[in-house]
Structure 1
Amino acid sequence: MTVETKLPYGSEYVRQLSTTLGEPEWLRELRLKALEKVDTLPLPKADKTKIDNWNFTNFQHELKNETIESLEQLPEEIKALVNVGANNQNLLIQKNGSLAYASISEELTKQGVIFTDIKTAAVQHGELLQKYFMTKAVKYDEHKLAALHTALFNGGTFIYVPKNVEVKEPLQVIYWQDSDSALFNHVIVVAEDNSSVAYIENYLSFAEQENVANIIAEVIAGPNANIHYGAVDHFAKGMTVYVNRRGVVGNNGRIEWALGQMNDGNTVSENTTNLIGDGSYADSKTVTVCRGKQKQNITTKIIHFGKHSEGNILNHGVVKDEATNIFNGIGKIEHGATKSNAEQTSRVLMLSGQARGDANPILLIDEDDVMAGHAASVGRIDPTQLYYLMSRGIPKKEAERLIIHGFLKPVVNELAIENVKNQLIEVIERKVR
């Protein structure tokens, strides 16, 4: 089933899509409601970046059913992310929006943890999915891309951790795109009271033809729950990417983000955490490398509603050639969120005279009894650091490489799977050279 999608989208196609997937009636109706909104809603706002002429709506939309019999069949780039030959428990691989490989430990199932693709979740866990899908974090009618996503999402993952369950091993999902079909991916991670989980995802595309990725992740941490969310996005040059990762945190809960934005095409990234509960905590670390003529707009926002809540933002970017990277860091403390603390640091390292980098720190404070601070810088490699390394006999290019890796290290070290960490280092190495 393939259609050239140009606004307006047909309701008949959406009904057919939902029927083909065997979805419950509530989800079909939500898709249709979202479809009605697409033409009337504006694009999301990307401060200091004009995205009106970016391609978000001209693409192929397709459903495929692809499977992988063995990890040995994987391309080398994906093999590097998994330990081929090991048990590889708690691993999902989705190819072009279709679940191609799944390995889930028996222990995880016994604990009542749900770890499955979003299509299976809609059929087998419909009532639970309905509770969290576009209700707690992101709304379907926020803007054009959210509505478009809701109407046409065709891949993703649903993770649910019951109360008092600690998932000891990281859950890993690889999203592999090698067709001319657009990727509309929806991820939901829910950790109920006193539970914990680490989730790591990788997005990869190899074809450089014009295409679209529209990704939304909703992350819900209940009271005293702990979620570690790691992601490395590596879409090819022709992909226009919109990604919105949003969290909601209850009393004394925690969400820690470690995000690597390594795309080669134009990208709009939103990462927002709502600290709803008292004593809630969020830590968001993002690194990016921009090259060529690509443009990236990355907004990280932490909003404090609960008392004694704490939010930390760290953004580090490297820009070369004629690329543009914009960091918007926003810490907002709402009235009543007393004793809260909002801190942020954004730094951009430029490697060429034509590169452009902006770091925009914003603090919005509606309460008196709080702490808040920010730091921002845009500049070139520190000549003092370079001189120190070269004085120890290290060649200039190697010294620059070491400084760049050290600059991006805060996020690389946060990734919970060693193979993913090594792959990010390799991608960084390839892009800066």
Structure 2
Amino acid sequence: MTTQIVLPVELDAVRQTSVNNGEPAWLTESRVNGVKLAQELELPKLEKMKIERWDLSNFGQQREGYAASAQQLPESVASLVDLKEHSNLIVQVNSRTQFAQLSPELTAKGVIFTDLETAVREHGDLVQKYLHQAVKSDENRLTALHSALWNGGVFLYVPRNVEIDIPLQSIFVQEDDKTTFAPHVLIVAEANSRVTYVDNYFSGQFDKTLVHSGVAEVFVQAGAKVQFATVHNLGTNTIDLSYRRSIIDNDGSIEWIIGEMNFGDAMSETLSILKGNGSLSDMKVIAVGSGSQKLNYTTKAVHFGKSSESQMITRAVMREQATAIINGITKIEKGATKANGEQTEKVLMLSPKARGDANPILLIDEDDVKAGHAASVGQVNQEQIYYLMSRGISREQAERLVIYGFLAPVVTEIPLEQLQQQLQGLVERKLGQ
């Protein structure tokens, strides 16, 4: 007997919205195909957590028409950027671009940094070549729905041999629970280029649950270097479903720096596909859970290239009744000789009712490689607390120092000092300090 799947979207509505927005035929077809796939595919299977029990009924309504940039920073995000140095910035509120600016110097070098919908209109062939090629539409129902509904997002293209010293930044703000919240970040770094990209996600407090369906695809060509930093700070009634993926060619490298600071349930998968020889992936993730949150975070590296290297470090702090499943997966394929994959997952629990589970997994199909993992789950080390207290520090301050020391390996790697300070503030807020 076949179970009828009720989707939060109708095929005809998706097609009509795409046509009304003047999208090219290939994109309309892609969206319609996403709905068809969602009708056939299952939800992803999360380790030790049932996503089908989450409220995934509200993906919001697709909007029609694209608003021009207001060229004025909303007050809600003005504090996140240096007002004197925000020329390389995109701000989107409720999936509409409110501010977009790229410095003339980068424009002259051929750099493209714009909202994804504008990129579809002005650079359609380039976008079509890469869109949904790292995170495939047919992987599961969530990726299929995203390909049908994506709304907002950015396109960053860095030409061959161009090196950008100043980070490019985007901010996504969701203030209502009616508009689809599904930004798509697409980055293409051509051979021997270098770029740092930073984004922030925020949402308000809603009367009903809203699903954030986000995807980031990063294509790192030969010899290119990409640094990707992202902080998610979504509200209690926003469920965060995020897929991040990079494909790295010969001697290319990517560094992921991720802050999972949400207040609602969340799932994310960050995957580096080390396709080329000498390719490199470095992932650093911190997560703080509170209340009754259910969190499932996966970092993964798949090695195809010879002498490829991956490093994954995850630090999670759980308080109150929060539950976290932390998965680290290193896969070394046959033929990836001299590959080296290392991973560490650590969970610190601040309450007897908090739960954490660290799952390191090594899948090795080649002999001539190096691979290792470390994982730990535990309470705050009382010996450290007593030692600090013996030096005249209060218990509360001692616990804070231990927690910050636990998270420091990731926080100190944030490429922007202002973002470091923001993340520090979010950690303090989530820890109730």
TM-score where L is the length of structure 1 = 0.95
1:102 counterpart SS class: strand
Q: How many residues align?
A: 424
Corresponding residue number in structure 2 for 1:330: 329
**Deviation of residue 70 (structure 1)?**
2.9
1:151 shift after superposition: 0.6
8 Å CA contact 2:41–2:141 kept in 1: the answer is yes
Matched, 1:151 2:148: yes
Give the match for residue 72 of structure 2: 70
Superposition map of 1:23-172 within 5 A: 23-63=23-63, 65=67, 68-71=70-73, 73-75=74-76, 78-84=77-83, 86-135=84-133, 137-172=134-169
CA change 1:132–1:190 in 2 (3 A) is: same
Give 3-state SS (helix, strand or coil) of 2:40's partner. Answer: coil
* 1:46-85 alpha-carbon deviations (Å, 9 max, x no partner): 11111112122334214274854533x412xx2221123x
CA contact (8 A) 1:298 1:327 kept: yes
1:15-65 Cα distance to aligned partner (Å, 9 max, x none): 222123321111111111111111210111211111112122334214274
Distance 1:57 1:118 in 2: 26
1:205 matched residue in structure 2: 203
Cα deviation digits, residues 198-226 of structure 1 (max 9, x gap): 00000001224311100011011000000
Q: Give the conservation status (yes or no) of the 8 Å contact 2:8–2:59.
A: no
Q: Counterparts of 1:20 and 1:409 in 2: how far apart (Å)?
A: 49
Give 5+ residue unaligned stretches, structure 2.
1-5
Contact 1:21–1:119 under 8 Å retained in 2: no
Helix, strand or coil at the partner of 1:227? strand
User: Separation in 1 of the partners of 2:357 and 2:96?
Assistant: 38
Distance 2:326 2:43 in 1: 19
Q: C-alpha separation between the residues in 1 aligned to 2:309 and 2:108?
A: 34
- Partner Cα separation in structure 2 for residue 59 and residue 205 of structure 1: 14
Cα distance in 1 for residues equivalent to 2:191 and 2:428: 40
Equivalent pair of 2:211/2:239 in contact (CA under 8 Å): yes
1:219 alignment partner, SS class: strand
Name the counterpart of 2:3.
Answer: none
1:236 and 1:196 mapped to 2: Cα distance?
33
Matched to 1:24, the amino acid is P
CA RMSD of aligned residues (A): 1.5
Alignment of 1:7-406 (within 5 A): 7=7, 9-63=9-63, 65=67, 68-71=70-73, 73-75=74-76, 78-84=77-83, 86-135=84-133, 137-180=134-177, 181-209=179-207, 210-406=209-405
The separation in 1 between residues aligned to 2:69 and 2:176, in whole angstroms, is 15
In 1: Cα distance, 2:359 partner to 2:100 partner? 41
SS, match of residue 52 in structure 2: coil
Farther-moved stretch of structure 1 (20-29 vs 282-291): 20-29
Question: How far has the Cα of 1:8 moved from its partner?
Answer: 6.6
Deviations along 1:272-318, one digit per CA (max 9) or x if unpaired, are: 10000000000011000000001000010000000000000100000
Contact kept in structure 2, 1:112 and 1:161, CA below 8 Å: yes
Q: Alpha-carbon deviation of 1:384?
A: 2.1
SS at match of 2:250: coil
SS at match of 1:184: coil
1:417 aligns with 2:416: yes
Q: Percent identity?
A: 48
The one-letter code sitting in structure 2 at the alignment partner of 1:244 is Y
AA aligned to 1:424 is L
Distance 1:417 1:8 in 2: 38
Structure 2 residue matching 1:299: 3-state secondary structure: strand
Distance, in Å, in 2 between the alignment partners of 1:412 and 1:372 is: 25
Does the aligned pair in 1 maintain the 2:59–2:212 contact within 8 Å?
A: no
Report the CA distance between 1:417 and its aligned residue. Answer: 1.8
2:114 & 2:410 partners in 1: Cα distance? Answer: 27
380-389 or 314-323, larger mean C-alpha shift:
380-389
Q: Please tell me whether the aligned partners of residues 59 and 181 of structure 2 are also in contact (alpha carbons under 8 angstroms).
A: no
What letter matches 1:70 in structure 2? Q
Bigger shift: residues 12-21 or 142-151? 12-21
Q: Can you give the 5+ residue segments of structure 1 that lack an aligned partner in the other structure?
A: 1-5
- 1:3 aligns with none
Q: Note the C-alpha offset of 1:99.
A: 0.7
Amino acid at match of 1:396: R
CA distance in 2, matches of 1:87, 1:285: 26
Cα drift, residue 168 of structure 1: 1.2
Asked if the contact 1:8/1:39 (under 8 Å) is kept, the reply is no
SS at match of 1:306: coil
The one-letter code matched in structure 2 to 1:153 is W
Cα distance in 1, alignment partners of residues 378 and 270 from structure 2: 24
Matched residue of 1:406: which SS? helix
CA distance in structure 2 between the partners assigned to 1:67 and 1:87 by the alignment:
18
